[in-house]
Amino acid sequence: MIIIESEGITENVKVWRTDVPARVIGALGLAPLMCEAADPDVFAWYI
């Protein structure tokens, strides 16, 4: 299981780094992936 934390991707950045989760998903698929999202906008984006 891989967990993607929001820090540096959607938290404390000027622009969301959506390329980072996209690269992980592209390489590994969705099955081994879990995302942490405290902000409702971030949660909605991951869904």
What global pTM score does this model have?
0.71
- Buried b vs exposed e over 13-27: b needs ≥16 C-beta within 10 Å? eeeeeeeebeebeee
The DSSP-derived string for 5-38 is -SBTTTBS-SS--THHHHHHHHHH-STTEEE---
pLDDT in tens, 3-44: 888 888 999 899 999 999 899 889 988 888 888 888 899 889
Domain that holds residue 6: 2-46
Residue 30 has a pLDDT of 84
Residues constituting the chain: 47
DSSP helix/strand/coil, 1: coil
The number of folded domains in the chain is 1
